[in-house]
Amino acid sequence: MKEIFLHIGLPKTGTTSLQFFLAHNKKLLIENGYMYENYIEPLCVHYQLVTALNNDYLENNFANSRKSDGFSNTKKVIEDLINKSNELNLERIIVSVEDMSILGYCIAVVQKKHEYLENNFLIEIETESLIKLKQICDDLQVKIKVIAYFRGQDEAVLSYYNQAIRGPLEINSSYNFELNEYVEKWEPWFDYFRISRMYTDIFGLENFYPRIYKGYKKGWDIREDFLRDVLCLDFSDFELQANNSLTSNEGLGAINHRAKRILNRIPNWSEEQISELMMDGYSGEFFKGFPNEISFIDSIEFKTKQHIRNLYSESNQKFVEIFIKNQDGFEWLESLNEEFERKKQDINEVIDGLLITILTYQNDKFLKQRNEIKNLQEQFHSSQVQLNEATNEINKTQAQLDDLTNQLSLTQSNVIQNNNQNTGYLNSVINELNETKYQLNELRRISISLKIKKILLPIKKLFFK
């Protein structure tokens, strides 16, 4: 039976780094009995599965729905994976797409429907879509094994919020949410017990592999963890990609995060204007002197982090008892060290001071640029006056030229008319001359005839006496 190892993230647990690593090692994975399939380059992620589930759900539940072009239904996607693995003579397939963990939200975003964004409705969408996927795989005799990495909610929520602030100003973007609104809005999507129970109810507890994200620990690597503990492969046999800049999806530092929030709230500013200022949303000309050494998460107040932990405390206890069991690395279940966290709050004063410096510098530069623009406008106005004067002279010269052209045309007409008259008179004279010539010729002929008669008459008389 075919097996699909479905990696669903969760968001902000090193998914991008893992996907690039798997794509870079496709050939080595094949040699070890696994096929990694990704449809979108260079993202190395299998979006087609999510899009197909979206299309199937909309087709089954909504008429005239907005489907994504270029993607087929879920059954066709799974059949394509089976056919490709058959060509390689492999039984195990790896699919990685973190949007599977927020499937209902993705469908709502595709439809651009705010009314879809009610949490209960999104969970209903997600559950129905996963049941559909399970039925299709059962019919095709394919087993789904779900792999999910979980990160402490205080860090995961804050990191995802930071990502939303960095991202484009889309219709469903969270750029305009305050942090407390964002935490409330996304509460069900970081309820790890709910997510785990939903997947195990559908795919079975034996086919669910929860892993604790330990990115905060020195030396821990999700790529090594995934190969060693999920696929049972030796990490040392695989290659790290040369261009490591493509393997991370870093958020904004504390300074740039606050600056981006300020820019996001400027009325009538487009994403293009903000990106131009901040150089693709990471760091801009005015922030180069202040690198992202201060983490956004470290800049958040202790009470906010503790509130997030408390929000999921009961759910996390059940999550650990039922699903995590003997795994280590879930220190985020404990209360935060208040004294340590409060020491870090001193950096907020540094951030505020830096922002004042940045925005003051920005204002000074704006005033300088405004004066430069004013000078350019004055120069433009002066050039415009000169251009108008030159235009008037050209118009006068053009008028004179038009008058001369008219006079020339009139003279030419008169000459042609005179030529026609002279030609007619000349033709008349020629005709008269020709007539006179004809008459002279006639007179000459008559004269000759008379002369001949005068000569012949005496002769006639002589012979006819």
Domain residue limits, the chain: 2-151+189-239
At 183 the pLDDT is 80
Burial grade of 309 (CB within 10 A; 0-12, 13-18, 19 or more): middle
The pTM for the full model equals 0.67
pLDDT in tens, the chain (465 residues): 999 999 998 988 999 889 989 999 999 999 999 999 765 555 566 778 888 888 887 777 765 555 555 456 899 999 999 999 999 999 999 999 988 887 776 666 655 554 545 556 677 888 889 999 999 999 999 999 999 999 988 888 888 887 777 665 543 444 556 788 778 777 788 899 999 999 999 999 999 999 999 887 888 999 999 999 999 999 999 988 755 444 455 666 666 676 666 666 665 656 566 655 554 434 444 444 444 556 666 667 677 888 888 899 899 989 988 998 766 656 655 655 554 555 455 555 555 655 566 556 555 666 676 677 777 777 777 878 888 888 888 888 888 888 888 888 888 888 888 777 778 888 887 888 888 888 888 887 787 777 776 676 666 666 655
- 3-class secondary structure, 150: strand
The confidence score (pLDDT) of residue 201 equals 96
Tally Cβ neighbours within 10 Å of residue 365.
12
Q: What is the CATH number of domain 2-151+189-239?
A: 3.40.50
What tokens does 39 get?
């449809």
Task: Tell me if the bond preceding 10 is cis, omega within 30° of 0.
Answer: yes
pLDDT at res. 335: 57
C-alpha span between 238 and 261 (Å, rounded): 41
Q: Which of 215, 183, 208 is nearest to 312 (CA)?
A: 183
- Is residue 295 within 8 A of residue 162, CB to CB? The reply is no
